Structure 1
Amino acid sequence: MAIAWQKEVNGTYYQVRTAGSSVRLYTDGVFHSQYNQRTKISGGIWDLLMIPAFLHRPQELKRILVLGVGGGAVLRMFLDHFSPESITGIELNPTHIRVARKFFGLNNRKIELVEQDAVTWLKLYKGPPFDLVIDDLFGEQDGEPIRAVEADIHWGKLVSKNLSASGLLICNFLSRKEICQSGFSKLFFNDEKFKSAWIFENHRYDNQIAVFSGLNTVLSDLYEQIKQISKSNSALRLSCKNFTVNKLKCRHAT
């Protein structure tokens, strides 16, 4: 891959690489984001932060909040495949925001990128709830990705408070154990917020994507919407063949 841009900022090394229509962001060697401008998908784990949204009708997802922008691949895919009124992205790293705007095409009037800590921003937020919240808050330690915010019950309640009653939450985890120990799972199994919960996986990655909905979602709706939208996008159709989805089941979740 060709190096399109690289810079060291406060001891952190950033690099944007390109290959054909594909753009990648690396931060200290950790692969943060990928997007393909031709196929309109990432071709990686980030697809699974967008695909579960088809559990809901696209027209229901008007207000979207993304916690952890990275290079912006997820925001870009929602622009390409949905019709949101607004997408708000919260990102602590100012260099990531600059890269997202310059290389991932996030200079769009529907997108607001905010440079702030996600926990602080949510605590101070006083606006209307969101129809979709994506929690992709990751950092790195010794060259490996780690969650930047512990998904405990306090975080679960803070996020869900800013989600509409019928809203959808998509959260990136590194293991099933993390999901079952999370505050989101506790809210689901205690019937405090969510009516359905799923786990999406791609066999090529260790990540587990937890999906919680205020609606009684069914997989037939997901597959039908994927079938329709992927008719004209062979890359999306292929990506949709690479995931498995199951209902969330945990022992001692409460």
Structure 2
Amino acid sequence: MSVSENVLHTSEFSLDSIYNNRSALQSYFLNVFPIFILEIPAVKPQLKISPAVIRESGSVQMSCEVPQSQSAFLCLFYLHGVEAASYNRPSCQISLSGMQLLRWARQTSPLEAEVGCYYLTASLEERIKSNHSDPVAVTVLNRLQTPDITVSEHISISIFIFCGIPKHYGQASSCRLYTGDEPQYYLTSDTSRRESGDLFCKFALNKDILFKRLQSLRSREVSCDYTVDSQPPSVSPRSDPFKFTGKISHYTC
């Protein structure tokens, strides 16, 4: 008689005997009652990151949210496409500074990375690894790049000024326009996106009003900067000034 049959037929049928011979019992039942066993991974978690853009001195909060139907005893955070050790957290939450993210990715700022997570379920005999979360982008900034400023042909009464934002910083939310060397900005504008995906800001101004302001400042120049919603907030350096040449309407600067 086999071990499994012996366990089934013994008069001293106890939990200890079942536990000590569980492998033989599993083999016996599978032979007698063949079934299909599907190993289904646990439902994937949702990764939340806030804020998505930080400075080196800032910090980011990451939460690997496990479905209520699952019981996780450990969550693992990892970087997509980077050979780096994962962060393991039983709480499924982690806070990292910008400098820690840079060291994790073994890169210098600016850094654009994608983070993912998964969890291990808690069971009596085995740990089941969940599917991976969708990746979430996180950016670490240092010094922002300088924008470009251009001015359209001012044929009629309007002038259009464009503040071009470097492609790397797609999280920029707004721009500010300056006249002359004034430290206080003159106008603000939200960002727009070109078909190429590049971000820019557009300022539409009345030519005479703008030139009159420049005359009062004894200047012919305009410049711009842009703001990135990071933690803490980041403002780029001002662009190189654009200088109006020739006759500026009927005003003389």
TM-score, length of structure 1 as denominator length:
0.20
TM-score, length of structure 2 as denominator length:
0.20
More helix by share: 1
